[in-house]
Amino acid sequence: MKWPHPAPNPSAVVETQGQGRTGNGHIDRIGRVKSALGFVLVLFGLFSCHQAFAAPADIDGLTMTLPDPASGWRKAGKGNLFMLQKDFPETEDDKRGSALIQITKPLTAARNSLQAGMKTFVATLPDMAKEDILIKHYGVTVNGHDIRVEERCCVHQKNVSISQIVVGIAGDKQQVYLQLVLLNVNGDRSSGAEADFATLVRSVKLDSSDKDFDLVATSADGGLDGVFTHLDTGARPNVFGGMDFYSDSTITMFDPKGLFSTELPKGGRSITEHCKETPTDCGLYKLTGGGFFSSAGSIEMRSVTSAYGAIEIETKAFSKKGEDLVIADADYRVVPPFKEGTTLDGEWVSTFASSGMTATSSGSVASSHTLTLHRNGTFERTGWSGASMTNEIGGSQSGVTTSGKRPKASGRYKLSGYRLDLTDASGKTETMSIFEPDKGSDGLLVINGSNYLKDDEK
């Protein structure tokens, strides 16, 4: 692939060249590449180029909803790329930082050139292209376009930490590329900028017939109703370099019209409301196969795998076993809801522990939460947590240990459906999801996704 020479104009990060061509030829149009250092200097030089903008916007036939100017995003630069920038002031905890969103004009290209175009657009930060992909999501959008999301981190240039998220969306005839570049932006600042970028990406309409992002079932979708649990066990790496064994009672909630969720809606929300607020918990499904004298033999699950609207489609073997389901040879047991006014009696404890070590460090963290429920509708809550870490550098060892207790709380509780309301003495109510994974037994409660085992000695 032949690249043009670096652009001499310091005010232009990327320039779009030429007229539209189909196939891989479009790649030369994505941009002229400056050095990574020059890119950083240009970004920080844009502080004086801000102007307010309004949403929604039409960019050369590409429709999207831009962030509210009140959130701090402003139009930046005058190049052929559409650019937005948000600045973060220096604080006691953070350096001065900047977040930049870049959007290409729609490019005439075949759908199968998306992967090559992504590689080219990532290389607009040459040093970033050398980094491995940390997170990736490949799938389709609600409008049937191919979408690829790749996140890379971290390049350091003159005390500036740079990370990059690149998104490519391709239809049959044209495609668009977007990227979020973060400079000295992390923590809550990074989370906020990424959420704004994800919302913008989900709103992109590549064709005039595209609809807004929403999980809308078709007449062919649906067919199941209820909450089902599956026991998932295994081992996974932890942040300390060790391995944690886990045993999770996962759930899948099926709506008869075609929505499904891998989390129970909280706060009394319906599954439709929950999926609008947290689409990455959700998806659409349909039963396929079978006929007049047999039930469906497979289930197609279209899961939203990222906040950017990427949908992964999987078809799995499916059958029914009484009230229960078998999906991909895994048992999913039906979970009945709690009846209104149900009360329990006992003490349930949720514990967590994780530890590990490397050649120069070791660490551990542990916590315990206890919930006591009484037949008269009252409850008590207690808990504690602790952590320790040691590091050895140049023969010198340092460490830190911390622990704390959760203040005891008490009040009244209410069970209904898959919902637990805890109202403390001050009148404040906390709503959590709850279910019993074992039929007819309260030996294990799953509350807000955590396993609470009953202490039979209490």
**For the chain, how far is it from start to end, CA to CA, in angstroms?**
71
For residues 227 and 251, is the Cβ–Cβ distance under 8 A? yes
pLDDT of residue 239: 60
Separation between Cα atoms, residue 448 and residue 420, nearest integer Å: 9
Rounded to the nearest integer, the mean pLDDT of the chain is 83
Per residue in 206-252, pLDDT (tens digit) is: 998 999 999 999 999 999 999 999 887 667 676 656 676 666 788 99
Measured from the Cβ of residue 333, the count of other Cβ atoms closer than 10 Å reads 18
Question: What is the pLDDT, as a whole number, of residue 246?
Answer: 60
3 state DSSP class of 146: strand
Instruction: Specify the pTM.
Output: 0.75
Query: What confidence tens digit (pLDDT) does each residue in 12-42 have?
Result: 333 333 333 334 444 444 443 333 334 444 4
Quick one: pLDDT at residue 99? 96
What does the pLDDT read at residue 124?
Answer: 82
Residue 44 is predicted with a pLDDT of: 45
Give one DSSP letter per residue of 204-256, joined into a string.
-BSSTT---S-----TT-B---EEEEEEEEEEEE-TTSSEEEEEEEEEEEE-T
pLDDT of residue 6: 30
Tell me which residues of the chain have a pLDDT lower than 70: 1-55, 78, 233-234, 236, 238-242, 244-247, 290-295, 359, 394, 458
Helices and strands (H, E) in the chain, number of each type: 4, 27
C-beta pairs of 353-358 under 8 Å, 24+ apart in sequence: 354/238, 354/239, 354/240, 354/242, 354/244, 355/238, 355/240, 355/242, 356/238, 356/239, 356/240, 356/241, 356/242, 356/243, 357/240, 357/241, 357/242, 358/240, 358/241
pLDDT confidence of residue 51: 42
109/89 Cα distance (integer angstroms): 40
Cβ neighbour number for residue 171 with a 10 Å cutoff? 20
The full length of the chain comes to 458
Structure tokens at 79: 């190049």
Dihedral-angle region of residue 18 (phi above 0 means left; psi in -120 to 50 means alpha; beta otherwise): left
Identify the H or E element spanning 153.
strand 146-157
Q: Residue 112 to residues 57, 82, 148: CA-CA distances in angstroms? A: 28, 25, 12
427-438 tens-digit pLDDT: 999 998 999 988
